[in-house]
Structure 1
Amino acid sequence: MISPKQTTQVRLTDLIAPSFYDLHHDISGHRHTHYKLAGGRGSTKSSFISIEIILGMMQDPNANAIAMRKVGRFLEESVFEQLRWAIDVLGVSDKWKIRLSPLGLTYIPFGNKIIFRGADDPKKIKSVKLSTGYFKYIWFEERAEFDGPEEERTILQSLMRGGSEFFVFYSWNPPKSMNSWVNQDVLDEREDTVVSHTDYRTVPRDWLGEQFFIEAEHLKEIKPKAYEHEYLGVATGTGGAVFENVTVRTISDEEIAMFDRIKQGLDFGYGADPLAYIKMHYNSKQKRLYLFGEIYAVKLGNTKAAREIRKFNPLNKVITADSEEPRAIAALNELGLRIVGAKKGPGSVDYGMEFLSDELEEIIIDPKRCPNATREFMGYELERDKDGNFKGSYPDKNNHTIDAVRYGMEDDMTRRRASIKDKKKYGFG
């Protein structure tokens, strides 16, 4: 953290790390509403947010702010002190009133306020009232502690009222597991959202102190994975990631125009589970699989499902589906599609998963075209038992697109499996 100082002339470049310069200009121009700042220790993301809130409130008499943690008792030692620090380094302590019980900060010239709340008591957030203005600035600190996007939406629905401009800040250190909801959330691209990932390496050395860098380099040497997670803010995984061969990137229209080995898989929904359809291209020479088309929806009736699938499959090519739903297959065939059931068989799930994760050089997924496949493949991890050991089976959850891919690739996997058996039969295995 920057050392506090009182001054009448403050340069923002002395307070904001270079990694946040572009973000500061983005906020100044109000180009987005949601600012999601992930990063490792010492990235100064919370310092940056606190400065932006204080500066913004001093320019708008209608702008109030609310800063939140999941657990209210941590507010004083985190966001409250962080915002007090921002007031101090900006040299405006004489213009702010500080209240300790309950926690509060008031900008004296305008009377606008910063209040602090814990989400462990949602009623206190819903009941927040302002005498003047509205909550222009909303801050979720230590975002990974919150229960998920539904909780955030509920809070925002209560707070984002009465104004025309809002700035919602989120700050957190990414958890290890890609299954964590915050790690999955940043894969969902929205036009009104900026995602920023920073770490200590872009921060001036004297801001953090020499010892900080000594500790970071020591951990890097003895435990590189722990260093990546703690200091770089990388979701390094729990060690149980199944698909380490996934690349998430845009697949261009020009690439798709050249695809000539199209595969299609379909996993039917069960109750609350979604129907998942995936369209792919398989380059067998390079052992690369491209995922570029997706349907993912619950309560999708057969007629509507057939209509949606035709949009991806105008030539009505054969689709391989889960054979455990013969009625659904028959219904879609009656609607004009060409659906065949996957053959499956003993060990087919394990072999299919090993084929996708080990045999393929790369699984390339377009995150815009296939957001749910991106989420499932990136977050699919083995589970641990009560002793901390990895279980020997693949988890049967959050894998609907993965199953669809397995079905769609069944013919290629079957040929590969037969080839391996022949080699072993004749002594080449």
Structure 2
Amino acid sequence: MNIDVTINQAYLPFLQDNTRYQLFFGGSSSGKSFFLSQRTVLDVLEGHRNYLIVRNVMNTIKRSVFNEITKAILAMGLRPYFDINKSDLVITCLLNNKQILFCGLDDPEKIKSVTPIDGVITDVWVEEATETKYEAVKQLDKRLRGRSVVPKRLILSFNPVLQDHWIYRQYFSGWQDDKNFYRDEKVIILKTTYKDNDFLEEDDRRALEEETDKYYYEVYTLGNWGVLGNVIFKNWEVQDLSEIRQTFDRFNNGLDFGFSDDPNALAHMHYDRKRKTLYILDELYMTELTNDLLAEEVKKIIDRQVVTCDSSEPKSIKELCQFGVRAIPAKKGPDSVNFGIDWLKRQKIIIDVRCVNAKLEFQKYKWKEDKYGNVLPVPVDKDNHLIDAIRYGCEDLMTQNTIKANDGFKRHRIKI
């Protein structure tokens, strides 16, 4: 069978990729949904795959992804080989009985009962995945079971939203913002924008390029994860520190206490005084830890190093010491929060790619606003557990400025 199909160059390497979790995200008009529609049709035509395609709400499917699949079939000249049932939202390949099934996540009982007429569901594609809840997608992942001659896949496609979304937390721990592709054993992530769509009309390109709203330009034109306004820290970046960390021999550690709603947050750091660079090397970010369990987790990261803790919990500090952690209280003092923020803003901060929670906090930590939208010099006390831990751990760096004097017999350290 000769098939007339034209595929954007950016997506060609993924036409037959079998990685379990596949994320296609980026800006508007990047062609990701149409590529996935083309791939779906070709996969079903080949005779080994059945697709379940979902959106958060059922009534949005017919005018979106169902139409995209239909357009792909027509564009490739394959209409005679497919039965397109618009009322039931089922597309069946007449050559092999493989199917493309559509459901909304607002009807969980129907999702449970969806079964193709031949074989099992091999692929679940969640369109506009940022609309969905983590629990719903987790259940879909569990639907991928049963005997199949091809590897099963969970596919998410979306425009990015704010970085506190569960998708970012779940899949983007290894993502680097200066790249457009990530792969590991189980996950691939491809970022595309309108520039990757070879078939986009010029007026559509111009509309995206001339977007004046900063958030919409970042998200829908550039395909970046959005950030909240009035962020405090802009002096940071993410790097893979797995090699350079082997050269460090001095460390600072800070711990902010939590339990149920708020996490226990530990920051493990190195400071290069000469280059005024703070490296965030490792993190602990866990809830529901009693102090004995917390001590065990802390020691896994810092061993016998000293950790500076939130001084508002002296009992916890004492118990950590009893459990073998060299814990000391932070001194804090008047205006210590803003003092610490000011010091951190004057450093270059490099966060290891594995410290996803630290990255999220630096992206979201912002100043308060008054009712008129004016920025106040007071940080919002939210999403700052690791940032507080970092301030505690760097307290001695902030408050000690020392010079060395040699009187001919011995050295003295003099505070100034």
Q: TM-score, normalised by structure 1?
A: 0.84
* Residue aligning to 1:115: 101
Are 1:194 and 2:206 matched, yes or no?
no
- Alignment deviations for residues 80-104 of structure 1 (CA, whole Å, 9 cap, x no partner): 0011111112221101001111211
- In the TM superposition, what is the alpha-carbon distance from 1:336 to its structure 2 partner? 2.6
Gap change, CA 1:384 and 1:39, over 3 Å in 2: farther
Q: Deviation digits for residues 299-323 of structure 1, max 9, x if unmatched?
A: 3333333333333333x23210011
Deviation, structure 1 residue 405: 0.9
Residue aligning to 1:344: 332
Cα 1:336–1:218 shift into 2, 3 Å? closer
Matched with 2:146 is 162
Match of 1:4 in 2: none
Q: Tell me, yes or no, if the aligned pair for 2:227 and 2:363 is still in contact at 8 Å.
A: no
Shift of 1:289: 0.7
**Which stretches in structure 1 are left out of the alignment for 5+ residues?**
1-6, 417-429
Write the mapping of 1:32-51 to structure 2, written as runs, cut at 5 A.
32-51=19-38
Give the conservation status (yes or no) of the 8 Å contact 1:184–1:379: no
1:263–1:282 Cα contact (<8 Å) kept: yes
Which AA in structure 2 matches 1:295? Answer: L
Kept after mapping to 1: 8 A contact 2:314/2:329: yes
Superposition deviation, residue 79 in structure 1: 0.5
> Is 1:218 aligned to residue 210 of structure 2?
yes
1:49–1:169 CA contact under 8 A, matched in 2: no
Q: Which runs of 5+ in 2 are unaligned?
A: 175-183, 402-416
What residue number does 1:76 align with? Answer: 62
Task: Give the structure-2-normalised TM-score.
Answer: 0.86
Q: Is the 1:187–1:375 Cα contact (8 Å) retained in structure 2?
A: no
Q: Does the 8 Å contact 1:179/1:380 carry over to 2?
A: no
**SS of the residue aligned with 2:389?**
helix
2:341 is equivalent to residue 353 of structure 1: yes
Preserved contact between residue 84 and residue 91 of structure 2 (Cα < 8 Å)? yes
* Cα drift, residue 340 of structure 1: 0.7
Letter matched to residue 285 of structure 2? Y
> Displacement, 1:184?
4.1
Instruction: Tell me which residue corresponds to 1:90.
Output: 76
Q: Is the 8 A contact 2:50 2:119 kept in 1?
A: yes
CA contact (8 A) 2:309 2:329 kept: yes
Query: Which residue of 2 is the match for residue 423 of structure 1?
Result: none
Summarize deviations over 1:145-200 as a string: whole Å, max 9, x none: 123x233213322x22224521221111112x333334444423463011110011
Q: Flag the 1:103–1:289 CA change in 2: closer, same or farther, 3 A.
A: same
Q: Aligned residue for 1:397?
A: 382
CA contact (8 A) 1:265 1:409 kept: yes
Structure 1 residues 216 and 415: CA distance shift in structure 2, 3 A: same
- RMSD of Structure 2 on Structure 1 (CA): 2.4
Counterpart among 1, 7, 23 of residue 14 in structure 2: 23
8 A Cα contact 2:266 2:283, kept in partner: yes
Name the SS for the 2:102 alignment partner: strand
1:112–1:403 distance in 2 versus 1, CA, 3 Å: same
Say whether 1:241 aligns with 2:231: yes
Q: Distance in 1 between matches of 2:81 and 2:2?
A: 12
Residue 377 of structure 1: CA displacement? 2.4
Q: Quick one: distance in 1 between partners of 2:242 and 2:197?
A: 36
Name which of structure 1's ranges 340-349 and 125-134 shifts more when overlaid on structure 2.
Answer: 125-134
Asked if the contact 2:259–2:288 (Cα under 8 Å) also holds between the matched residues in 1, the reply is no
Given the superposition, is the C-alpha separation of residues 44 and 101 from structure 1 closer, same or farther in structure 2, using an over 3 Å criterion? same
Aligned to 1:270: 259
**What letter is aligned with 1:19?**
A
Q: Offset at 1:341?
A: 0.6
- Between the aligned partners of 2:116 and 2:367, the Cα distance in structure 1 is 48
Residue pair 1:174, 1:182 contacting (<8 A) in 2 also: no
- Displacement of 1:383 in angstroms is 6.0
User: Take 2:109 and 2:368, find their aligned partners in 1: how far apart are those partners?
Assistant: 35
Alpha-carbon spacing, 1:64–1:269, altered in 2? closer, same or farther (3 Å): same
Report the Cα offset of residue 411 of structure 1. 1.4
Q: Report the CA distance between 1:127 and its aligned residue.
A: 3.1
1:101 aligns with 2:87: yes
| Mean Cα deviation higher: 104-113 or 235-244 | 235-244
**1:342, CA displacement in angstroms?**
0.8
1:231: how far off? Answer: 1.7
Which residue among 110, 115, 130 is the counterpart of 1:124? Answer: 110
The question of whether the paired residues in 2 share the 8 Å contact of 1:19 and 1:202 is answered with yes
The 1-side partners of 2:139 and 2:230 are apart by: 33
Task: Give secondary structure in 2 for the equivalent of 1:56.
Answer: helix
Q: Shift of residue 224 of structure 1?
A: 6.6
Percent identity over the alignment is 34
* Deviation per residue, 1:278-313 (Å, 9 max, x gap): 210011222211011222222333333333333333
Which aligned pairs between 1:294-309 and structure 2 lie closer than 5 A?
294-309=283-298
Q: Give, in whole Å, the separation in 2 of the partners of 1:238 and 1:266.
A: 26
In the alignment, does 2:132 pair up with 1:146?
A: yes
Query: Distance between the aligned counterparts of 1:332 and 1:414, measured in 2?
Result: 25
Residues 359-398 of structure 1: pairs in structure 2 closer than 5 A: 359-360=346-347, 362-368=348-354, 370-382=355-367, 393-398=378-383
Matched to 1:304, the amino acid is L
Counterparts of 1:350 and 1:128, CA distance in 2 = 55
Flag the structure with higher helix content. Answer: 1
Q: Is the 8 A contact 1:67 1:115 kept in 2?
A: yes
**Equivalent of 1:57 in 44, 49, 57:** 44
Shift of 1:391: 6.1
Assess if the C-alpha contact under 8 Å between 2:169 and 2:356 holds in 1. no
**Letter of the structure 2 residue corresponding to residue 56 of structure 1:** D
